Structure 1
Amino acid sequence: MAEKTKTDKTTAKLSEDQLKELAIHNRFTLKEVKLMHEEFFKKYPTGKLDKKTYLGGDFTEKHKEKFCQMLFDHYDTNKDGFVDFKELFQIASVTQRGTHEEKMRYLFDFYDLNKDGYISEEEVVEMVDAMKPKDSPDEKDNNDDTKSVDTRASVKEALNKLGKKVDKKKISFEDFLQAASQGEFVILFLV
């Protein structure tokens, strides 16, 4: 068991049986799971990645803090303010070894900010604005009002290309999956 810190935010390393269970259900070999587990605990000896550490990493130097917070919150599936090995492993499992549908579900759930089962125009605008790197031309040359208008116009155009009526303004997972299978989701999520 890992040592406890003063703030008692330590997570025990997983047992051999727990690691086997992860391997069986997530398309990784036991050897791969053990290696990832070992590397995670080397990097995060408490067994948990906190938001402050995550937001202070190299990734956030190039991206907006809002986007990084959105990512962290999406990774923190149990909403305890930390990302533990199991949570991070589940992400790796889907993004690296998941089926097409699992990957699309993961992406859909990430964009579904209010978790109502649909992606709205507003959610896409918020995500696209948040995802733009700090040093992108859009970020340097425009004020916030112009950026929002430009993003909204691009999102509406992309939704129209997907055949959605502008007044509907929401995409179900089934619509999203169908568009993704036709290669159209790239239009929407790379505006």
Structure 2
Amino acid sequence: MKTFLSLFMLIASFNLFAAENPTVVMETSKGQIIIELFPDEAPKTVANFLAYVQKDGYKKTTFHRVINGFMIQGGGFSAKTGNKVSTLPPVENESRNGLSNERGTLAMARTANPHSASRQFFINHKDNAFLDAKGGNWGYTVFGEVTLGMDVVDKIAKVKTASQDKPVQPVIINSIKLLDREMK
């Protein structure tokens, strides 16, 4: 009976482990941020983000727009040249997924076109429910949440900025890597 119970516990833990959401580690010049992604709520957005992660597409990009008490936005400009980096085709807006732009959530940046998000993302520095989909209006797709490192987000949010909310001293995203499940 004890062997059966041990085997059952092993199988149960494997099933729970298999159901875990993907998690990424964002290494920045200000510290490390761990983010859990939500593929059940935003499958196309998570797949799009992971496509960049898997090809190391966020390596040496910057947080180019920082507004303390609002959000930090990055992933779209090269730390080396300051130029925009190439993008994959835009992803369909999934903002009507029941997730809200709360403090610590990860969402896609976009233009006025609701289906224009490609690679730039932002981390909400405070609750920003006004960015959620309401009625017939599209919102900004939430697709993840910071699970560790909000102190780093707070540090980034407090950097000195110049015109267009650009940090005076670059805040660099050194890499974003999928967390190996064995490391958890």
| Smaller-chain TM-score bracket | under 0.3
**What is the TM-score normalised by the length of structure 1?**
0.24
Structure with higher Rg: it is 1
Please identify which structure carries the higher strand content: 2
- Identify which of structures 1 and 2 has the higher relative contact order when contacts are C-alpha pairs closer than 8 Å and 6+ apart: 2
Q: In proportion to residue count, which structure has more helix?
A: 1
TM-score (norm 2): 0.25
